[in-house]
Chains A and B, each alone.
Chain A
Amino acid sequence: MTRVLARYGWSLGLLAILAILLVATRLIQPNFGASGLDSLARAALPFAFATVGMGIVVIAGGIDLSIASIMAVAGVVAALLMHQMGDANAGWVVLIVLTRVPDIVVTLAMLFVWEGVALLILNAPGGAAAPWLRELVVGAVTIPGLPPELTSWLPRALVVLIAFVVIFWLPLRRSKLGLSIYAIGSDQHAAFRSGVPIGLTRVAAYGFAGLFAALGGLSITLSTGIGEPIAGPYLMASVAAVVLGGVALTGGKGGLLGPIIAVFILRTLRLDLTLLSVDPNVTTIIEGTIMVAVVMAGGLLAMRGRR
């Protein structure tokens, strides 16, 4: 029990904050219900994918500044291909996007490269998304054989997110490669002397980040129905969620559950501030202040725990 608490303490704390925020939302807006949860999950989807990608790189001791532009490239590629080839061929287009793993260690320069590539592919918002794919993330889950009331509160977008993270991250974390990612993040020299291939592991970490960024870009295209060549505000947002989620920026520490919960906290916070019609210029200040407060409180708790 104490082991579970120690390991998941940060995530459990975040979960409590999220629960409090959701209750607060309900108090502010008594009509908040399934449709609200659904739109929350859909809004969180691109942020969550970006955060998962960033999280893996940060755990490996790096940082991926090009994540938002990769999302833009993936988004416009998907939108353009689906537009040109129509509905029927959308399936293999998705495959291309999903397997589009950049095999290079991404640097700041790549941010500009991808920015340009996105604009070259599509110089203005355009393209299309296959309707059946768009349906994939809209509304609640329906499981055959179960009464719809049971699942009406469970947004499909959330299920899609969990499914991808479970499929890729859980096996990875338990594998040799996953262990190597944590190892090079925590101490590169020690990892090297233990025989961990530093270069290959880093490439793999950035590859997974690219994969999740592509998924994030695809989810933007699915929610908007078009491809947007200008990158959205996902770079800073993903770093923020990773930090809030308990991953140390120095690498080697933390998991992906915390950052994902952090994404939902930040989205719910924005929803509440909109519901309260707080001055928009104050909104970002409040968001930032809460983030600093949570991270500092967590740091203090960790220090006390050590003593």
Chain B
Amino acid sequence: MNKLLLTASAVSILVGLSGAAAAQDYTIGVSNTVQGNGWREEMICAIKAQALKSGEVASLNIAHRNTDAAGQLEDIRNLIQAGVDAIVVNPANPEGINAAIKEATDAGIVVVAVDQAVTEPSAYVVSNNQEEYGYLGAKWLFEQIGGEGSVVYMRGAAGASADNDRDKGFKRALAEYPGVKVAQEVFTGWQQDQGKQQILDYLATGVAFDGVWTSGIDNVIVDAFVESGAPLVPIVGADNAGFVGQLGSVEGLVGAAVTNPGSIGAAGVTVALNILKGEKPAEQTVLVTPALWDNVSEEGKASIAAAQNPNLDPEWPVSVSIADYTTYSTDEIIACKGPGE
């Protein structure tokens, strides 16, 4: 009798397990704290497209608003209350949301931080390497101007952790080129209008400089040079569609785009689904290394030509997919439709 019971329970457990493995009804929560920015919008669309394409997500629960770490704590706790199976989060801050992440993982929810790391050890991290992003572009720029001269340093949002990491990379490159000076350091706040105003103000002073490093507010900087008729200097930006287009088309522009895929959100969904199905990644942290495409070398020119896509919003990064992690097509991410939409 006992044996029978044991077998019966073993069978039921197995049935339960296989049921879980074949489940197509996961709910995934998403928490994001910057709204109305092309990069973040692409991230959300990538999450939606990948969730739909995977066929394993019944619904997405997206908490997407402009707020701080305290607001994100609230959003994550609300998602816990909503009973989601996994949470994909772009953290406002590497430490500030640890308390809520711990509560989520204690409740058996899989948490994957994308784009930026968190220090809570129970979370998985799928992130772009921001320090390397800063270093790669700065090194290219300093080499381009011959290791001698002054550059305008247009950072992101003051106090943001991605900005701080990029600053570390930038400073590392600066230390390697003692002949290079920073002529002007400004925070664009990752706002197009603000960045353009700042470079126009600086151009109006008439002080000569040799290059511009931007933290992704790039196409409006090129516009400002062209509109004001100022001689172009080498410009480093991100792989935003508008800037990549300019690298191929603007006469006399020497520049480089450093990749920073917004589709990292989709990679987060894939990792979360894999963990839910019992396939944990080998490492707790997966770093996506950026690449640099310049319009000087043949290799860079080829990458830029291949990346041109007139259908993309100019503020969206052109790297709409990440090999091994995303399965949707470019049209599907542009459609920006999630499960049940």
Contact = CB atoms under 8 A, between A and B. Distances in A.
Question: Are A and B a genuine interacting pair, yes or no?
Answer: yes
A274 B75 contact: yes
Contacts of B62: 277, 279-280
B96 A228 contact: yes
B157 A230 contact: yes
A29 B77 CA distance: 13
A102 interface: no
Contact of A29 (B65, B83, B95): B83
Interface in B49-66: 59-66
Contacts of A280: 35, 62-65
Nearest to B341: A279
A39 B69 contact: no
Contacts of B69: 125, 220, 224, 226, 228
B28 to A, nearest CB: 10
A233 B66 contact: yes
Contacts of A152: none
Interface string B142-165: 000000000000000111110110
A289 interface: no
Contacts of A271: 78, 81
Contacts of B208: none
B266 interface: no
A223 interface: yes
Given A119-B158, A232-B68, A125 B73 contact: no
Contact of B159 (A35, A119, A224): A119
Contacts of B63: 274, 280
A229 B158 contact: yes
Sorting the interface of chain B by its residue count into under 10, 10 to 19, 20 to 34 or 35 or more gives: 35 or more
A230 B82 contact: no
Contacts of A231: 68
Interface string A39-51: 1001100100000
Nearest to A279: B62
Which of A43, A124, A279 is the most central at the interface, judged by chain B CB atoms within 10 Å of its CB? A124
Nearest to B82: A275
Given A29-B81, A32-B81, A228-B159, A270 B66 contact: no
A224 B82 contact: no
B98 interface: yes
A224 B60 contact: no
A224 B65 contact: no
Interface string A59-100: 000000000000000000000000000000000000000000
B159 A124 contact: yes
B78 A233 contact: no
B65 A225 contact: no
Nearest to A29: B81
A124 B70 CA distance: 16
Contact of B77 (A43, A226, A279, A284): A43
Contacts of A283: 65
7 contacts: A124-B161, A224-B73, A226-B96, A229-B159, A232-B70, A275-B82, A279-B62
Interface of A: 29, 31-32, 35-36, 39, 42-43, 46, 119, 122-126, 134, 220, 223-226, 228-233, 267, 270-271, 274-275, 277, 279-281, 283-284
Given A39-B78, A124-B161, A271-B78, 5 more contacts: A43-B74, A124-B163, A220-B68, A224-B97, A281-B35
Q: Give the 4 A-B CB pairs with smallest separation, nearest first.
A: A232-B68, A43-B74, A224-B96, A280-B64
